[in-house]
Amino acid sequence: MESNQPSVIEERRRHILIKDKNNQQVIECDHQSVSGAVSQRACVYCGARVVLNPITDAVHIVHGPIGCSSYTWDIRGSLSSGSEMFRNSFSTDLSETDIIFGGEKKLAAAIDEIIAAKSPKTVFVYSTCVVGIIGDDLQAVCSQAEKKHHIRVIPVQSSGFAGSKKDGYKAACDAIINLMDDAKYKIEKKDNKAFNYLGDFNLAGEVWIVNNYFKEIGLRLLNAISGDATISNLIKAQDASFNIVQCAGSSIYLANMMKEKFGILYKQVSFFGLKDTAESLRLAAKLSGDGEVMQKAEELIQRKQEEMEPILKEYKNKCQGKKIAIYVGGDFKAISLIKQFNELGMQTVVVGTQTGRKEEYEVLREIANEGTVILDDANPSELEKFMKEKKADLLVGGVKERPLAYKMAMAFIDHNHERKHPLIGFEGAINFAKEVDLTINSPVWALARRYSYDE
Amino acid sequence: MLEYTPKEMNERAALIVNPAKTCQPIGAMYAALGIHKCLPHSHGSQGCCSYHRMHLTRHFRDPIVASTSSFTEGACVFGGKSNLKKGLETVFEIYEPDIVAVSTTCLSETIGDDLSDIIASTNIPEGKKVFYANTPSYVGSHVTGFANMTKAMVTHITKKEKTKSNEKLAIIPGFMEPSDMSEIKRILKVLGVGNIMFPDTSDVVNTPQTGKYTMYPEGGVTIAELEDLCNCKATIAMGKFASEAGAYELEKKCDVEARVIKLPIGIEATDTFIVNTLSITGKSVPKELENERGQLVDLMVDIHNHYHGKKVAIFGDPDTVIAMTEFVISLGMIPKFVLTGTPGNAFESEVTEMLKANEIKDYKVKAASDLMTLHQWIKNDPVDMIIGNTYGKYIARAENIPLVRIGFPILDRVGHSYFPTVGYRGAMRIIEKISTAFLEKYDRECAEEDFELVM
């Protein structure tokens, strides 16, 4: 490995693994990035913001200088069936004097002002780096505001430096649990078909697609968390008989807390790809323990598969044989994607995540093909190097990876906030195949690779 | 999304709703990218760097690379010295820039890291350079950050002692597109005036497709040119807010005369730019430029009836907004609302003076404001057009007003990286945009009997 990795920092080597059945090297992950590295990672605040922000009817105030609020204004792509309040950007826009004298007064005034202007049901207050340093007591300000206005004002402890993006997910989950504690009743008998669906943010309306399946088979979705979630619904989340978790990286912590606090069991699911969608529906049906639901699930799966498989086959004919690189946030999604590309006859040759967990990297290693490069917290040069070496045709990634792929004349798919079509469920699997086809078979790549007049 | 914006205006002192600015470090990062083979380095949490890269990537659709000190809780307690030292070592070892431009964040500023001391005590490889700008996020805006980084280039890199005049003009283009910087250089070439433009992001963030990813593209002012600024005849600084700090620093340090003009947007401001250039260099206007100007005036004559008397709201960065206001007045439009998020009394006084001099009545001008304020103004007193960045699209949709996208950021359209809005040609492009926006709305909405072929 030494000789062919000139551009890899010593400390980074252990974060890179080449799948080899004779090599049992364990990948290093879950670390802070090396100082000076061009990391693709974000911060605690970012993690909290992406998980909480899709709650549609809340006001999300960012307590800090303006940037943190500006950069996260309506970038998540979460859709709402009701209120659009969450798509606005609210900030205390701290200035120098606030940093010197403290920002608590300004925060209290900001909460008063927003309640006067928009009468929200709930306000979330996010702390940012500098707030953590000057020591504003968010909890105290929020408690006082609750007493004054008789609505929930919930602090989110998300100072950027205090951990990684994952700690931000936790901070968001803590805030959601805080809301659920509001239910001041005890339900007598739970409906065994009622459940919550965690870790789906309704990008491009994805929650709505899977909810159609749930409705058809007779399951009752109480809450998707946090896609298209509302405050009044979230309070009732504990009525669920079970939880299913899509994005484990962001929401497994919440699932565990709900298990501890309310005794709600959970299972991990993945609605990406035909096979995983079918398996996940079966699992959800089984969790209800209801024979009729299970029967209906089978019917739905069969019908959808018959409907989708011929369409998928057409795309498979157009796409198979191409090589794929994947660089996404968490590894659960990466695992799903590898399977989905397999369904299309495409081979994954590079796979990396920003914040993968050890156990999941093991699963990744298991399902990856021999020779696949597995990366933790990769930087652009590493991605470039391995994509070139492995001759990848398409990269799946987020905002910052897109232009890198394009500059290398590679096709690209955004499987993050900028996805424009729902990629979930049976319909999503078709959309996904369509997007793969659209990008990988575009005439532009031939042009982009022939960049001089001589060729 | 803006259904909650109330028409009644309550005074807000603490809360910003839908900002019209972002924070200093992103402006500093953009300026630093305008030095050849420079890697911008963000001294703060990972999230800051990630957000700035993401935002610039979305605007330019090109890879934006920068490194970060990746602050942890430890760094916040003990200071960021070891993070920066380690970070700089890593950066030179792996990414091999010629120069690193460090910008601070609200976090490192509040902790009180002494960058001058830290950099002095770091082993920097032979022939390489590191310099820094203080860019606390809680002061000013992204425009201030751009100004501070530009000034820092003079403070830290320019030689103090004049040797021999290089017969060149120093040009500080301000916070503008790479296409605009190319256009200014083209005009200077036509005028036969040698120049050193700094920063210069053309051919850095709008690079051609070559099938290869290059971390340091061809563009950018070189270190040698920055050192040589002391030997320039004079400085033309475009836009007070983004450029005067650098120009005055050069005047103070090396006695190079500073001339601060408006951004050359529109006919008058472009005239001012050219007249100033001529008066310093003693050159005369070549036929080519006279023709360009003549074509612009010809176009203004041809379609003056498309926009004369229309009411317009202009928002965005102060330098851009000031120049745009002057331009639309020359087109016979009425700037009713003129607003920036960046703080600064100079903005309000300069715009107000312009409006008064042109006998425009019932206007509103505000600095350090936000887009909720602009929306409320428009709700109470509708306008025919909004000119601003992409964030104006929410108001444009809510009120069915055409939006002409000028400024930063533009996240939903292309063209700004390649087609200038400065100079005579840029002015023609703006007129085309304005006229098209009005006519397309008319064509879409007019009664059948009013629908015309020739307009």
Spatial contact of A313 and A381, defined as CB atoms under 8 Å apart: no
Give A162's DSSP letter. S
Reported ipTM: the value is 0.94
pLDDT at B201 exceeding the cut of 90:
yes
Which pLDDT score, from 0 to 100, does residue A46 have? Answer: 94
Do B54 and A400 count as a contact with CB atoms less than 8 A apart?
yes
Q: In sequence order, what are the residues at sequence separation of 6 or more whose Cβ sits closer than 8 angstroms to the Cβ of residue B378?
A: B313, B337, B386, B395, B399, B401
Spatial contact of A399 and B58, defined as CB atoms under 8 Å apart: yes
pLDDT at A90 exceeding the cut of 70:
yes
Residue A448: C-alpha distances to residues A443, B212, B343 (Å)? 9, 10, 44
Distance from C-alpha of B332 to C-alpha of A413, rounded to nearest angstrom: 46
Tokens of B74: 């430890």
Q: Does B447 touch chain A (CB under 8 A)?
A: no
Average pLDDT, chain A: 90
pLDDT tens track for A204-247: 999 999 999 999 999 999 999 999 999 999 999 999 999 999 98
User: How many alpha carbons lie under 13 Å from residue A325 in its C-beta half-sphere?
Assistant: 31
Residue A333's pLDDT band (cuts 50, 70, 90): confident
pLDDT at A324 exceeding the cut of 90:
yes
Edge-first strand listing for the sheet containing B364-366:
B364-366, B334-340, B311-316, B385-388, B403-405
pLDDT mean over A34-43 = 82
Spatial contact of A334 and A398, defined as CB atoms under 8 Å apart: no
Which pLDDT score, from 0 to 100, does residue A114 have? Answer: 94
pLDDT at B122 exceeding the cut of 90:
yes
pLDDT tens track for B222-278: 999 999 999 999 999 999 999 999 999 999 999 999 999 999 999 999 999 999 999
- Which is higher by pLDDT, A19 or A299? A299
pLDDT at A78 exceeding the cut of 70:
yes
Residue A269: C-alpha distances to residues A200, A213, B110 (Å)? 11, 14, 44
Do B76 and A85 count as a contact with CB atoms less than 8 A apart?
no
Distance from C-alpha of B74 to C-alpha of A22, rounded to nearest angstrom: 39
Spatial contact of B235 and B171, defined as CB atoms under 8 Å apart: yes
Distance from C-alpha of A245 to C-alpha of A241, rounded to nearest angstrom: 14
Distance from C-alpha of A406 to C-alpha of A345, rounded to nearest angstrom: 23
Residue A164: C-alpha distances to residues A41, A70, A364, B46 (Å)? 9, 20, 22, 9
Spatial contact of A323 and A346, defined as CB atoms under 8 Å apart: yes
Amino acid letter for position A187: I
Which pLDDT score, from 0 to 100, does residue A39 have? Answer: 77
Cis ω on the peptide bond leading into residue A226 (within 30° of 0)?
Answer: yes
Distance from C-alpha of A108 to C-alpha of A114, rounded to nearest angstrom: 10
- Which is higher by pLDDT, A25 or A407? A407
Which residues of B are less than 8 Å from A67 in CB distance?
Answer: 22-23, 25-26, 48, 51, 106, 137
User: Which pTM does this prediction carry?
Assistant: 0.95
Give B239's DSSP letter. S
Q: In chain A, pLDDT over 90 holds for what percent of residues?
A: 68
Which residues of B are less than 8 Å from A411 in CB distance?
Answer: none
pLDDT at A48 exceeding the cut of 90:
yes
Amino acid letter for position A135: G
Residue A9's pLDDT band (cuts 50, 70, 90): low
Tokens of B90: 């890593």
Q: In chain B, pLDDT over 90 holds for what percent of residues?
A: 94
pLDDT tens track for B347-384: 999 999 999 999 999 999 999 999 999 999 999 999 99
pLDDT at B169 exceeding the cut of 70:
yes
Q: In sequence order, what are the residues at sequence separation of 6 or more whose Cβ sits closer than 8 angstroms to the Cβ of residue A47?
A: A158, A164, A165, A166, A167, A168, A169, A170, A171, A172, A250
Distance from C-alpha of A135 to C-alpha of A138, rounded to nearest angstrom: 9
pLDDT mean over B171-200 = 98
Report how many helices (DSSP H) and strands (DSSP E) chain A contains, helices first: 18, 14
Which pLDDT score, from 0 to 100, does residue A323 have? Answer: 96
* Residue listed under structure tokens 């010295």: B81
Per-position DSSP letters for B244-255, written without gaps between them: HHHHHHHHHHH-
Which pLDDT score, from 0 to 100, does residue A318 have? Answer: 95
Do B50 and A46 count as a contact with CB atoms less than 8 A apart?
yes
Which residues of A are less than 8 Å from B102 in CB distance?
Answer: none
B79 burial type by CB count under 10 A (0-12 exposed, 13-18 middle, 19+ buried):
middle
Edge-first strand listing for the sheet containing A242-245:
A220-226, A194-200, A242-245, A265-268
pLDDT tens track for A392-439: 999 999 888 898 899 889 999 998 777 788 999 999 999 999 999 999
Which pLDDT score, from 0 to 100, does residue B335 have? Answer: 98
Distance from C-alpha of B66 to C-alpha of A30, rounded to nearest angstrom: 22
CA closest to B50 among chain A residues: A42
Residue A282's pLDDT band (cuts 50, 70, 90): very high
Distance from C-alpha of A49 to C-alpha of A52, rounded to nearest angstrom: 5
CA closest to B27 among chain A residues: A67
Distance from C-alpha of A159 to C-alpha of A155, rounded to nearest angstrom: 11
Q: A181-185, A267-271, B129-133, B295-299: which has the minimum mean pLDDT?
A: A181-185
Q: Does B79 touch chain A (CB under 8 A)?
A: no
Residue A18's pLDDT band (cuts 50, 70, 90): confident
Mutate which of A38, A78, A92 to test chain B, going by most B C-beta atoms within 10 A?
A38
pLDDT at A6 exceeding the cut of 80:
no
Spatial contact of A409 and B209, defined as CB atoms under 8 Å apart: yes
Spatial contact of B102 and B115, defined as CB atoms under 8 Å apart: yes
Distance from C-alpha of B315 to C-alpha of A41, rounded to nearest angstrom: 32
Which pLDDT score, from 0 to 100, does residue A2 have? Answer: 36
Which residues of B are less than 8 Å from A46 in CB distance?
Answer: 47, 50-51
Among the partner-chain residues B4, B105, B139, the one whose CB lies closest to the CB of A85 is: B4
pLDDT tens track for B412-438: 999 999 999 999 999 999 999 999 999
Tokens of B388: 């601003």
Residue A358's pLDDT band (cuts 50, 70, 90): confident
Residue B211's pLDDT band (cuts 50, 70, 90): confident
Which pLDDT score, from 0 to 100, does residue B26 have? Answer: 98
Tokens of A27: 């990948």
Which pLDDT score, from 0 to 100, does residue A301 have? Answer: 98
Do A89 and B95 count as a contact with CB atoms less than 8 A apart?
no
Among the partner-chain residues B66, B95, B107, the one whose CB lies closest to the CB of A133 is: B107
pLDDT tens track for A250-265: 999 999 999 999 999 9
* Residue listed under structure tokens 């590493």: A382
pLDDT at A34 exceeding the cut of 90:
no
CA of A73, closest CA in chain B: separation in Å? 8
Amino acid letter for position A269: V
Which pLDDT score, from 0 to 100, does residue B363 have? Answer: 98
Do A35 and B69 count as a contact with CB atoms less than 8 A apart?
yes
Average pLDDT, chain B: 96
pLDDT at A12 exceeding the cut of 80:
no
> Which strand (E) or helix (H) includes residue B145?
helix B142-156
> Which strand (E) or helix (H) includes residue B434?
helix B423-445
Spatial contact of B292 and B315, defined as CB atoms under 8 Å apart: no
Report how many helices (DSSP H) and strands (DSSP E) chain B contains, helices first: 18, 14
Which pLDDT score, from 0 to 100, does residue A4 have? Answer: 39
Spatial contact of B220 and B34, defined as CB atoms under 8 Å apart: yes
Provide the angle, in degrees to the nearest 10, between the axes of the packed helices A331-343 and A274-288.
Answer: 120
Edge-first strand listing for the sheet containing A152-156:
A152-156, A122-127, A58-63, A90-91, B16-17
Among the partner-chain residues B72, B94, B137, the one whose CB lies closest to the CB of A9 is: B94
- Which is higher by pLDDT, A282 or A31? A282
Which pLDDT score, from 0 to 100, does residue B430 have? Answer: 98
A345 — alpha (psi -120 to 50), left (phi > 0) or beta?
Answer: left
Q: A127-131, A185-189, B326-330: which has the minimum mean pLDDT?
A: A185-189
Q: Does B47 touch chain A (CB under 8 A)?
A: yes
* Residue listed under structure tokens 């090297």: A25
CA of A307, closest CA in chain B: separation in Å? 35
Alpha carbon A373 to chain centroid, angstroms: 23
Spatial contact of B313 and B386, defined as CB atoms under 8 Å apart: yes
Which pLDDT score, from 0 to 100, does residue B30 have? Answer: 98
Which pLDDT score, from 0 to 100, does residue A7 have? Answer: 55
Which pLDDT score, from 0 to 100, does residue A8 have? Answer: 65
Residue B242, phi then psi, degrees to nearest 5? -95, -20
